[in-house]
Amino acid sequence: MQTKRRVFLKGSLAASAAGLAVGAGLLSPRAVLAADWPKAAFESESMDNALSELFGSSDVSDSDDITVKAPDIAENGAVVPVTIESGISDSKEVAIFVSKNPNPLVASFDLSGANPFVSTRIRMGETDDVTGVVNAGGKLYKAGKEVKVTIGGCGG
Amino acid sequence: MSTIRMRISPAGDVLDVKALIRHPMETGQREDKSTGEKIPADYIETMSVKVNGEQVMQANLSAGVSKNPYLNIKIPGKKGDEIKMTWNSNTGESDEATQAA
Q: CB atoms < 10 A from the CB of B39, how many?
A: 15
Of A6, A7, A107, the CB nearest to B61: A107
In DSSP terms, A143 is beta-bridged to A132
A interface test, pick of B44, B45, B61 with most A CB neighbours within 10 Å: B61
Question: Does A154 sit within 8 Å of B60, measured CB to CB?
Answer: no
Question: Does B56 sit within 8 Å of A114, measured CB to CB?
Answer: yes
Minimal Cα–Cα distance from A110 to chain B, Å?
A: 5
Residue A31's pLDDT band (cuts 50, 70, 90): very low
**Is A133 an 8 Å CB contact of chain B?**
no
pLDDT 10s digits, A47-79: 999 999 999 999 999 999 999 999 999 999 999
Residue A152 and residue A76: Cα distance in Å, rounded?
7
How large is the ipTM? 0.94
**Is A110 an 8 Å CB contact of chain B?**
yes
Which residues in B lie closer than 8 A to residue A34 (C-beta atoms)?
58
Of A37-41, B27-31, B67-71, B97-101, give the lowest mean pLDDT range. B27-31
Phi, psi of B21 (to 5 degrees): -115, 130
Question: Does A112 sit within 8 Å of B74, measured CB to CB?
Answer: no
Look at residue B29 in the predicted model and tell me its pLDDT.
Answer: 87
Of B58, B66, B92, the CB nearest to A78: B66
Residue B10: burial class (beta carbons within 10 Å; 0-12, 13-18, 19+) = middle
Look at residue A7 in the predicted model and tell me its pLDDT.
Answer: 55
Residues A101 and A47 sit within 8 Å (Cβ to Cβ)? no
In DSSP terms, A117 is beta-bridged to A85
Nearest chain B residue to A108 by CA: give it: B60
Of A6, A42, A114, the CB nearest to B62: A42
Look at residue A17 in the predicted model and tell me its pLDDT.
Answer: 52
Task: Specify the pairing of strand A117-122 against strand A80-86.
Answer: antiparallel
Which residues in A lie closer than 8 A to residue B9 (C-beta atoms)?
none
Mean pLDDT of chain A: 84
**Is B41 an 8 Å CB contact of chain A?**
no
**Is A80 an 8 Å CB contact of chain B?**
yes
Summarize the confidence of residues B22-26 as an average pLDDT. Answer: 96
Residue B51: burial class (beta carbons within 10 Å; 0-12, 13-18, 19+) = buried
Summarize the confidence of residues B71-90 as an average pLDDT. Answer: 96
pTM: 0.84
